A and B are shown apart, each in its own frame.
Chain A
């Protein structure tokens, strides 16, 4: 248990405490009680009061990140230093709390994972019990899921404490370490890689459809892609660029150097593609900012109703 607590202790502040101390357990207990109280209040509140509560919680949560971004951050802060005034007192609190607040979303995700597993179980157990079409795949999924979870935990437990150092050397592995290695690195990782490699074939079929000369736009796309592809082919690039060098007699200042495949391709990527991607990124960034503002201030109404 001591090892778990030692993992995250950057420095002591309002938001954490000394390992195993009464203060730390008190803080954990109070936080748990506050969380349960909030859920209870939300469940007991009449439906018309729930929206303001959710709006308030959303606003306070968002306000933390707004303050983190805009409130003057402490300059040259060293561990154990006291704030000079009110501004620094607030900034010290925000600074110390940032990691804790960020971790809250991980805690929430961890809690919600249970609901995700429940969804998987409900869909696949029903399919198995009713012997619906392809129920065998559902059986494989559930066996794999519980099998990997069990093997993963067993392996993890075997690596706790000093055994962790010993098991870094595969010569000291026990049977469970080999089993986990076979299922995770030997099977799962390779299946991931296999799925990834399918993309190569899909790129080919998608490119065939996209590059068919149907319109001016498709033709421009075809020509541009062809130049970039050819510039990446060593032999073609060597012959083309060599021919240009022959014409210019290796004159580095010749205008003809601009017609080298690598130069045209570089210009296409840096000037045309780079500018277009930056334009898209600006639009997406501003869109996300507007969306974030609407969510934070609860201006976004529930989905899809005009």
Chain B
């Protein structure tokens, strides 16, 4: 019984639970410091990303052929960070297409993405002084059923004979349907999926693929805005921190487990407390310092004594056989 535990020791910080929030905070600080640092800096280096260099070429080819550029911002249900990033890239594509008076088509999986997407693209045309050339139907809501959406987009690719296709965001099983359909009509394809399982399909079927965090580096690469480039440098710091932590874990686990013969344990950590073992056993990865650090244990005996609300009425259980 540990009823004296302070309210400042939140449930998520008990045992080694503090590691996650601390690590997140550290990564946030790295990113914010670098955004601040990059404010005045010019010409920070970003390595060449072939998929992003090919955007101008793809739109130019579509213009020459007089065929539309088709874009799909993934299958997210709501407008999340992935969708915002996809729409950022599509803004850049739409801007080039608007300058060349090239038709565009953006196929949306959910109504919130459609609404935001339409406003973002309208804004791009307004900024370019081409408001009259914006076709509200160029951003379309297709369906929020996965394979109905896949059928709809594939149909559009074939009927409109898109010259360039951009698939950016969250994709699942339908990724290959899109990519192979576009490939069958000879469209230039630039794709990126935040789902690691779908990246191989895009690599097999598309001309250019942004892998992993290249997707998030795209807006910094294309616009060179100091805030975005600074954020990218911050992401590199974060990756170095993660790599460093992995190296520390590798060394400490090797030392603790014993490089040639596993160490024998006489006590183990259970329910957030060290308890003696009945008989010694070889140490496993869960017993090491790093193993414990990233696996929070909760103490079932931990109880907090609080006053009861005198007006409290327990909620009634829902009636059996209610509306399904």
Interface on A for B, CB 8 Å cutoff?
A: 3-4, 6-7, 9-12, 69-85, 87-88, 91, 105, 108-109, 112-117, 119-120, 122-123, 126, 133-134, 137, 159-162, 164-165, 188, 191-192, 195-196, 198-199, 202-203, 205-207, 209-210, 277, 279-284, 286-295, 299-306
Q: Is the CB of A286 within 8 A of B114?
A: no
Which residues on the B side are within 8 Å of A134 (C-beta)? 159
Evaluate whether A160 and B91 lie within 8 angstroms (CB atoms) in the complex, with A109-B110, A287-B215 already known. Answer: no
B180 pairs with A205, CB closer than 8 A: yes
The distance in angstroms between the C-alpha atoms of A77 and B304, with both chains bound, is 8
Are the C-beta atoms of A306 and B7 separated by less than 8 Å? Answer: no
A286 and B235 contacting across the interface, CB-CB below 8 Å: yes
Which residues of chain A are within 8 angstroms of B27 by Cβ–Cβ distance? 286, 289
Pick the most buried of A73, A85, A122: most chain B CB atoms within 10 A of its CB.
Answer: A73
- State whether A76 touches B140 (Cβ < 8 A): no
Contacts of B7 in A (CB 8 A): 72, 74, 83-85, 87-88, 91
- A79 in contact with B312 (CB, 8 Å): yes
Contacts of B103-118 to chain A: CB distance below 8 A: 108, 110-112, 114-115, 118
* A286-B124 Cα distance, complex, nearest whole Å: 28
In whole angstroms, what is the CA distance A277 to B111 when docked? 31
> How far does the Cβ of B287 sit from chain A's closest Cβ, in whole Å?
21
Question: Is the pair B5, A291 in contact by a Cβ cutoff of 8 Å?
Answer: no
A82 B307 Cβ-Cβ under 8 A: yes
Whether B224 lies near A306 (C-beta < 8 A) is yes
Q: Which residue of B lies closest to A95 (CB)?
A: B11
Q: From B25, which residue of chain A is reached at the shortest CB distance?
A: A70
Verify if B321 is at the interface (C-beta below 8 Å from A): yes
Check: B28 CB closer than 8 A to any chain A CB: yes
Q: In the complex, which residues 121-151 of chain B have their Cβ closer than 8 Å to any Cβ of chain A? A: 123-124, 127, 136-137, 139-141, 144-148, 150-151
Q: How far is the CB of A286 from chain B (nearest CB, A)?
A: 5
Chain B residues packing against A (C-beta within 8 Å):
5, 7-14, 21, 24-25, 27-28, 31-32, 35, 77-78, 81-82, 84-85, 87-95, 108, 110-112, 114-115, 118, 120, 123-124, 127, 136-137, 139-141, 144-148, 150-151, 155, 159, 173, 176-177, 179-180, 194, 196, 199, 201, 203-205, 211-213, 215-217, 219, 222-225, 227-228, 231-232, 234-235, 238-239, 242, 302-304, 306-309, 312-316, 318-319, 321-324
Is there an interface contact between A72 and B8, defined as CB atoms closer than 8 Å? yes
Least Cβ distance of B97 to chain A in Å? 11
Q: Which residues of A contact B120 (CB under 8 A)?
A: 302-303
Further 19 A-B residue pairs, CB within 8 A, beyond A112-B111, A289-B238: A10-B315, A70-B25, A76-B303, A164-B323, A202-B176, A202-B177, A205-B180, A210-B203, A281-B212, A282-B242, A287-B212, A289-B27, A290-B31, A290-B238, A292-B81, A299-B231, A304-B88, A306-B222, A306-B223
Partner of A196, one of B88, B137, B173, B196: B173
- The reply to whether A192 and B147 contact each other, CB–CB distance below 8 Å, is yes
List residues of chain A with CB within 8 A of the CB of B140: 119-120, 123
7 residue pairs bridging A and B, Cβ less than 8 Å apart: A79-B312, A198-B177, A279-B212, A281-B212, A283-B239, A303-B90, A303-B219
